[in-house]
Amino acid sequence: MIKLELRPQSSDFWRYGSPLLALIITVVLGIGLFVLLGKDPIRGLQMFFWEPLKSTYALGELMVKATPLLVIALGLGVAYRSNVWNIGAEGQFVMGAVAASGVALLADKETGRWIVVAVVVAGALGGMFWAGLNAWLKDKFHANEILVSLMLVYVADMVLGYLVYGPWKDPAGYNFPQTKTFEAATQIPRLMSGSRLNVGLIVALIGVAAVWIFLFRTRAGFAQQVGGLAPAASRYAGFSARKTLWVALLVSGGAAGLAGALEVAGPLGQLTPYVPAGYGFAAIIVAFVGRLHPVGMVFSAVLMSMFYIGGELAQSRMGLPKSITGVFQGLLLFTLLACDTLVTYRLRWQSRRV
């Protein structure tokens, strides 16, 4: 029999090195997958790890994908360090996009650039409201935040569908389920011409610094983490478990909603049924691969965006199915969990007793 036995002490090196090992194993498994599908593994790896980096335009697109992943992951990192399991960031992302679009649709050709701030703030508030529903149900009725946040994703998708197929549908849009294109005044400013890269990247990097300061340099951040790791010690120290819950969900929901606003007012420029791109779920992997540390999440967000772009290129150039992106994401998460388990536990062979 094989038994998992707790190690006396975990390796500090492998605690932070296991994401890199997980990536290497994912690449090896990916090579095997390409071979089984009858595709050139070298060309397959090129789609994922070279094409997204080979030009200035490609790097810009990489950052466009990485921005929402990073913003959402930063909020989730605060929640998970607080032991609050928000799995519904995808729904909060959608509701942030909806709220931001509602403000953007109020603009006309005479509206000033100030409305960009209103659009972004509306997106953050929309995500906070959706996460706040989860916090309220958990606080008042002790509802499981994992199940509630996940189910609210589907409700958010239905709200989005109702709006783009109904009252917000562009009458001049040839019957496509989408809003009209937002006015230029509502668009997030771009960082360089010829690229979709916009100020959202700067917002994300500011968020990295803000979350780092909050978690590791403030009393409130310390209270959040103590409340998650040791609730009894937190209560003894006078920290509020209720406040920990609300802060964790509002921060993570607000970050997801902000990402939704940056997406619809940035690269997309309108609200469509395709806004739910899976960023909210992928950001969970980003958060854990980044070790729930803001700086680590920067690198894991770039890696995950490479998987997104690589999957799209493999689909169009190699004839692979669209699901290849999800396969690589799943492999990375699975191997990371396996590596983390072996960092904490060791395998022990045990003979069966007769």
Give the mean pLDDT of 217-236: 84
Give the pLDDT of residue 198: 94
What domains are defined for the chain? 40-319 (1.10.3470)
Distance CA 196, CA 274 (A): 18
Q: Could you tell me the pLDDT band of residue 203, with boundaries at 50, 70 and 90?
A: very high
Give the pLDDT of residue 147: 96
| 8 Å CB contact between 281 and 76 | no
Give the pLDDT of residue 352: 65
**Residues ≥6 apart with Cβ < 8 Å to 6:** 344, 345
- Count how many Cα atoms sit within 13 Å of the Cα of residue 297 in the half-sphere of its side chain: 29
Give the mean pLDDT of 328-347: 90
Mean of all residue pLDDT scores within the chain = 93
Kindly tell me if the per-residue pLDDT of 354 is higher than 60. Answer: no
pTM over 0.85: yes
DSSP 269-281: -S--TT---SHHH
Distance CA 170, CA 41 (A): 44
Give the mean pLDDT of 233-260: 91
| 8 Å CB contact between 97 and 258 | no
Block residue for tokens 């960023």: 279
- The token duo for 45 is 């790896």
Give the pLDDT of residue 226: 87
Q: Could you tell me the pLDDT band of residue 207, with boundaries at 50, 70 and 90?
A: very high
pLDDT one-digit tens code per residue, 40-87: 999 999 999 999 999 999 999 999 999 999 999 999 999 999 999 999
